[in-house]
Amino acid sequence: MVACWSLNFIVGKVGLEHLSPLTLASFRVVLAGIIMAPIYFLLRPRSTPARQRTSPSTRREWRTFALLGLLGVVLNQVCFTVGLNRAWSPSRRRRHWA
């Protein structure tokens, strides 16, 4: 887990040398969705009683689910890449804020 988190910063810095912060955040979110969607559909239970269901089924639950995804994942990644872009880097010749 520590290796994954530390690689996150390194890959982010390398990615920011080639992409803008918002493009990189969008790429990361879309790539994660492409990877996770098949895993979700392959591993979810086929038939469960209504009481034991775990995925959202009503319109209100889907709205809540989408809002949590937007704020918890998308906004998190945008803030992470924008912050990483503004952080000090040797290639920026010691300019602290870009």
User: Which domain does 67 fall in, by range?
Assistant: 59-88+94-98
Q: Answer yes or no: is 43 within a domain.
A: no
Q: Answer yes or no: is 42 within a domain.
A: no
Q: Answer yes or no: is 54 within a domain.
A: no
Q: Answer yes or no: is 78 within a domain.
A: yes
Q: What is the pLDDT along the chain (98 residues), one digit of tens a residue?
A: 788 778 888 888 889 889 999 999 999 889 988 998 898 888 876 666 655 666 667 888 888 888 988 888 889 999 999 998 888 655 554 444 44
Q: Answer yes or no: is 6 within a domain.
A: no
Q: Answer yes or no: is 3 within a domain.
A: no
Give dist(CA 78, CA 76) in Å, integer.
6
Give dist(CA 28, CA 34) in Å, integer.
10
Q: Answer yes or no: is 65 within a domain.
A: yes
Q: Answer yes or no: is 47 within a domain.
A: no
Tally of domains within the chain: 1
